[in-house]
Structure formats: C-alpha cells, structure tokens
Amino acid sequence: MEEVSVLLPTPAYSRLTGPLSYSHPSALPPGSLVRVPLGARDSLGLVWPRAAPDAASPPPPERVLKPIAQVLDGIPPLSAHWLQLVDFAAHYYQRSVGEFALACLPPQLREVSAEQLARKIKKHNKIKDLGIAPPQTPPALTAEQATALARLATDPGPFVLHGNTGSGKTEVYLRRAALVLAQDPQAQVLMLVPEINLTPQLEERVRLRFADLGDAAIVSMHSGMTPAQRLNSWLSAHTGQARLVLGTRMAVLASMPHLRLIVVDEEHDPSYKQQEGARYSARDLAVYRGQLEKAQVILGSATPSLESWHHSRDAVPGEAAPRYQRLAMPSRVGSGALPLLRRVDMNNQPRKTLISAPLLAAMRERLARQEQVLVLLNRRGYAPVLHCASCGWKSECPHCSAYRVFHKADRTLRCHHCSLTQPVPRACPGCGNQDIGSFGHGTERLEEHLAELLVDMKRPDGTALRIARIDADSTRLKGELVRQLAEVHDGDVDVLVGTQMVAKGHDFRRVTLVAALNPDGALFSADFRAPERLFSLLMQAAGRAGRDAELSAGSPCEMWVQTFHPAHPLFETLKQHDFAAFAEQQLRERSQAGLPPFTFQALVRAEARSQEAAQDFLNAAREAGDTWLGELELAVTLYPAVPMSMQRVANVERAQMLIESGSRRALQHFLAAWQADLQHLRASHKAVLRWAIDVDPLAI
C-alpha cells in the first residue's frame, strides 16, 4: 500500500491546513482527482506532491490510513504548473491551500462519482464541430497596431497595452492570438474581461474571427453559467479541446495545460479583484501565471491601473529594470475624434440644479439631429433619502449605517446594503406629518426629470423621444441588460440614463454626447484610489462617444461634466485626454504619501455584534503581532483598528485594521506567521462573528 497526500477543502481555521494522508494500492501522480472519506462524508480531493521525508527527524509511527475511495481517472491529472499556481495564490492571499484549490474546480466536479464523470466525458467528447466556416478576414492594421504587434512578436513582456478607447486594442489581441494558435497546434489562449456582460460581445467577435477552429474550440467561463455548462467549459479547457477561453476573473484559475497567451482586457477594472473568500486579483495572478507557464501576458487599457502604469515606466539607468513593457496606441482607428470636454461650473447655477441650462441646450441640439445622448448619475433609485421637515425624521435603515433609498416605481424604501424593502410610509413615522419630502436625485428621478425637460421634442416619425434607464434595478431580471443594450444599439433609444454600469466597454455608435452629472464626490474622497477610478470612469464614458466617424464629422463629440471644482487638475488632464499626465501627478502624490504602488498593504477586517468587540479583537491581534515584529526585524506597520466606512450592515458591526510595509516580502512573511495569532485570539474573542485578510485591498 502506498501513502498518498490529498488536499481537501478544509478552511484555515479548522487547523487541518495541509494535505491529509490516505492509502492506495499504487502511487498516484500529483494533480489526480480522487474521492476520499472525510469525517462522515465523502469528499472530492486533489492528490498533492508529497513532501520529501526529512532525514533528520525520526520516521513517523506506523499509522492505519483510510483508503482512497475512488480515483477520477477519466480525466488527466492537473498539471504541475496549475498546482503551483493555486499553491502560490493560496499562500499569497492567506487562505488554506485545500480550500482554495478545490474552490477553483467547477462545483459540479465536487458532486460527481467516477462513473458519472466517465459518462459525462463520453458525452462531452461526442461534441463534434458543426460545420467549420471560413474565418472572417481581419482589417488591414493601423501603423500603431502593427508596431504593437511587432513588439509582441519580439519582446517577452509582460506588456501594458495603453491604447485609447477605439484605438483597436481588441484587434491587436485577436491578431496576436491568431499567431500564437497558428504557431503551435496545441496552444491555448486565455482572454479575460471584467464583466459577464462583456463576454457575449467579445465571444461573437472571437467566433467570427476564429470560425475555422470550430465551435468547440472556443468556450466561455463566468459565474452566469449553469453548473453543467461550467463543467463542460472546464473539461474542454483541461483536455485541450478548447483553444480559446473567454472569461471573467475566475477563468484565470482554469486548467489550461498548453496556455501560451493571456490577455487581460480593461486591466484597471476593480472587478478583477474577488471581494469575498480568497480575495485574489485575477490581473496579478495572470502576470504570475504567465511567468510560471512561459505564456505571454498583455494587460490592456485606455486607463491602466497606476500599479501597472508604474511597473511599465521608462527604464532609468542605474535603477532596477521596470517589470512590464509599455506599448502605446494613442490614436483612434479611422477619423473618429476624441470628444471635447465641457465643464459646467455649478457654482454659477441655481441651487439644486440637476441638469444645467447649457447642458440641456447641448443635449437638445444633439437630439434634434437624431444623435444619442448618454447621461451618467452614480446613484440608483428615485431619491437617496426621504425626510420629514417638521421633526427631522430620515429614512435610515434600522439595520445599517445607511439611508434607505426611495424607489418610486414600486413605492418602496430599500436599503442597498441589507436589501430591507418596505412600502413608503403614508405619513412620517416620527410625528405623523403627511408631507414627507425626498432629498437628492437617483437615476429613476433623473429619467422622470428628463422626460419633462424634453417633452416637446419628437422623433422624425412624430412619436415621443425614447428615454431608457439602465442600472442594477432595471436589469435585475436575467437577460434584461442584454435586451436593453440591444435596443440602444439599434437606435431605439434617444437618451440613455444610467449608472457607471453603462460606461464600460459597450459600443454605442450614435452617442455623440456623454454627460456626468455630479462626479465631485470622488475628488475629495477618503479613499486614495477614488480619483483614479473617477478618471478612468470619465475617460471610458467619453470613449462611448464619437465612435461613428461620420456622425462626429459634423460637429465634434462632447463629454460634459457638471462640477463645483472646474479647475481641478483631474479635469484639466481629462480635457487633454492626457492619462500620462494624470498618472504622473497621482503617482507623485502616492509616492510622497507612502501609498501603493510604493508600499504594500493588507487589511484585516472583523465583524461582531458590537463595534467594540470587533475592534478589541483586532487591537489584541495588533499587540500580539507587534511583540514579535520587533524580534524578527520586519519593517511592517500595524495601524489601530477603526470602524469601516460602512460601519454597520444588517446589524453587524464592522471594523478594520491596516497593515503596511515597504517590502512585499516582509508583509507576506508577517501575514503568514500572524495567522496563528488571529486564530488563537478568535477563540477568546467569542463575540467576533468572522474575520478575513484582504491582501492588496482595492478600497481602504
């Protein structure tokens, strides 16, 4: 009998963090999938490389090991590279390897027996290609695209492809992918996009371009798929049948034994960071994976993250070489010009103005020419607060430190944090006053307001203008977003109102005016990343305009910003479309303040029934950590615990503590050792409901 190490989905706090030993008549290669008894149940496990026996220590006592119940031998073992990837990621993001590794596998794999899997694979292998069509002919390259592709062919990367919206980045990805796939009949390509909603668009483009590979060679991977679809895509990628995998962040952990190219489109997008469980960054893992598997990595964006921008700076003699190489595509394909920035100084507008007179006039002019207008407001619902003028009552959520938002369509008050939904009270719950007022504007109210402002305008066929709203409320039903976007694409909509959801990646050809109504909040936010996010949102939103060169030939497209701070440097650089200047200015500030990418951060968050209990736990952990930090001479700073900015959600109090270091290595070393303190302290802090570490957090 052989002893086999098996990783199981055991969480870090269970103290069973390493692999467990089982017996089997023969040795099994690492990466094999097995089913083993675990407690009273039977669980999916992953055969893990056995640690070399330590010659210095005495041989372990003879133990009676439980046998492996089943080997899922219908599928090849996971590759050594894949095992190394999940091992790295679990350690880096402070998770147990077993829990992390098994969570990377499709959920259905955890439920099936070897027989069921064999049947599935048989069925899967039967999928034959239905008609192999000729591929679509690609357009002739622009000079900038040709230069970028030439660098991709000769340099190692990783690359930051800094290409303006509409500069033809996607075309570069497709060309590079075509070359990589043609050079090696087994090669696989992974293309990541930030949102599920962007996968169908990309998938269509990819399927047309690579029609000659056959349908089965292209698969998607995202959380909107059914468990059966996910298993199928995973098996395709794992067996090498899929040559191209398109997916959201989870796809970075797909098993792809012949991976040669990874593209991360819109690499700056915060949705690449997982916000629960193992809080990994798919972009950062893509770079690690590329290095590990010798796959080329392209991070593309019109507004790269400041981390990627900094890592791709020009080399300075005498300093360490930057980690990434930058490729620039500043021009738009064709003659579509970049939009002009117009600022409205809201200090000169009547109080409580939602849409200023000059903006309204500009919109009406566009609409009269049958062009489309896009209006952004970063707040859904009708009004963010209801209040009573006579007693001061406000629509606070009883369970959260937030106001419940008034939704007029169904006359509810809804908490956007805990989802508490109640009918709007007829009278003030505080004093019985019948006249409760609403405060502020959400997208629902904006839609209503615009309908009033534009009521006299008609479409050429004499019907009223169409105003549509796209936000998390309007798209709650499955398929709604796709349907609504199609309407906009088809020109059935004249004015589109929405949250930032509509600013990403969609191609609205007839939009010639984009307006951001109140972007000021981000200018003075406590979150040091807020300006970076605002700049990229406005730049992306502006990128929606002017895609149709014929339309913009008449009069240039415009991006309107209503602000109380028109002279703010962020708007100055935006006006020039000068991301580089904006990035340099931000990086200077971050460098002076000792913020990322010049330092490395982690957050530990704790949740408890009281704020005090949550903070006590964190501060005790801080003390414990501080005592041995000095001994180890690690330059790591632990800050005192503070309430989170959303302090209370669903009656749970939340606190956090920042950990910072100038050295990633020191921070990692500290966190790994400190886990034991946290687990130990948790036992004596019974009021703590949960705690978690977030490495490289995106929001502080």
Residues that bind Zn ion (CB under 5 A): 388, 391, 393, 397, 399-400, 415, 417-418, 420, 428, 430-431, 433
Amino acid at 539: M
Residue 415 or residue 638: which is nearer to Zn ion going by CB?
Answer: 415
Query: Cis (ω within 30 of 0) for the bond into 531?
Result: no
Residue 169 or residue 622: which is nearer to ligand ADP going by CB?
Answer: 169
Residue 87 or residue 195: which is nearer to ligand ADP going by CB?
Answer: 195
Among 10, 170, 512, 668, binds ligand ADP (CB under 6 A): 170
- 546 forms part of the interface with ligand ADP (CB under 6 A): no
> Residues 96, 98, 100, CA angle at the centre, nearest 5°?
70
- 199 forms part of the interface with ligand ADP (CB under 6 A): no
- 168 forms part of the interface with ligand ADP (CB under 6 A): yes
CB 304 within 8 A of CB 312: yes
- 540 forms part of the interface with ligand ADP (CB under 6 A): no
For residue 351, the number of C-alpha atoms closer than 13 Å in the C-beta half-sphere is 0
3-class state of residue 347 by DSSP: helix
Task: Give the one entry of ligand ADP, Zn ion, none that residue 499 binds, where binding means its C-beta sits below a cut-off of 5 to 8 angstroms depending on kind.
Answer: none
Among 158, 166, 442, 546, binds ligand ADP (CB under 6 A): 166
Residue 167 or residue 199: which is nearer to ligand ADP going by CB?
Answer: 167
| Closest to 661 measured CA to CA, from 617, 595, 606 | 595
Look at the block and give the residue holding tokens 């047309």.
208
Among 160, 333, 485, 693, binds ligand ADP (CB under 6 A): 333
Q: How far is the CB of 583 from ligand ADP (least distance, A)?
A: 18
For residue 183, the number of C-alpha atoms closer than 13 Å in the C-beta half-sphere is 13
- 95 forms part of the interface with ligand ADP (CB under 6 A): no
Question: Tokens in use for 677?
Answer: 């303190």
What counts of helices (H) and strands (E) characterise the chain? 18, 28
Residue 24 or residue 648: which is nearer to Zn ion going by CB?
Answer: 648
Task: Give the one entry of ligand ADP, Zn ion, none that residue 165 binds, where binding means its C-beta sits below a cut-off of 5 to 8 angstroms depending on kind.
Answer: ligand ADP
Q: How far is the CB of 191 from ligand ADP (least distance, A)?
A: 12
Task: Give the one entry of Zn ion, ligand ADP, none that residue 428 binds, where binding means its C-beta sits below a cut-off of 5 to 8 angstroms depending on kind.
Answer: Zn ion
- 331 forms part of the interface with ligand ADP (CB under 6 A): no
Tell me, by CB under 6 A, how many residues bind ligand ADP.
14
3-class state of residue 300 by DSSP: strand
Within 96-155, the residues that bind ligand ADP by CB under 6 A are: 139-142, 145
Among 94, 108, 165, 305, binds ligand ADP (CB under 6 A): 165
For residue 169, the number of C-alpha atoms closer than 13 Å in the C-beta half-sphere is 28
Beta bridge partners of 44: 35
Q: Strand 2-7 relative to strand 412-414: parallel, antiparallel, unpaired?
A: unpaired
DSSP 238: H
Distance CA 563, CA 676 (A): 49
Backbone dihedral region of 363: left (phi > 0), alpha (psi from -120 to 50 degrees) or beta? alpha
Task: Give the one entry of ligand ADP, Zn ion, none that residue 397 binds, where binding means its C-beta sits below a cut-off of 5 to 8 angstroms depending on kind.
Answer: Zn ion
Residue 326 or residue 605: which is nearer to ligand ADP going by CB?
Answer: 326
Task: Give the one entry of ligand ADP, Zn ion, none that residue 141 binds, where binding means its C-beta sits below a cut-off of 5 to 8 angstroms depending on kind.
Answer: ligand ADP
For residue 646, the number of C-alpha atoms closer than 13 Å in the C-beta half-sphere is 14
Among 8, 24, 158, 171, binds ligand ADP (CB under 6 A): 171
Beta bridge partners of 396: 403
- 163 forms part of the interface with ligand ADP (CB under 6 A): yes
Query: Percentage helix, strand, coil, to 5, in the chain?
Result: 35, 20, 40
> Which residues form the interface with ligand ADP (CB under 6 A)?
139-142, 145, 163, 165-171, 333
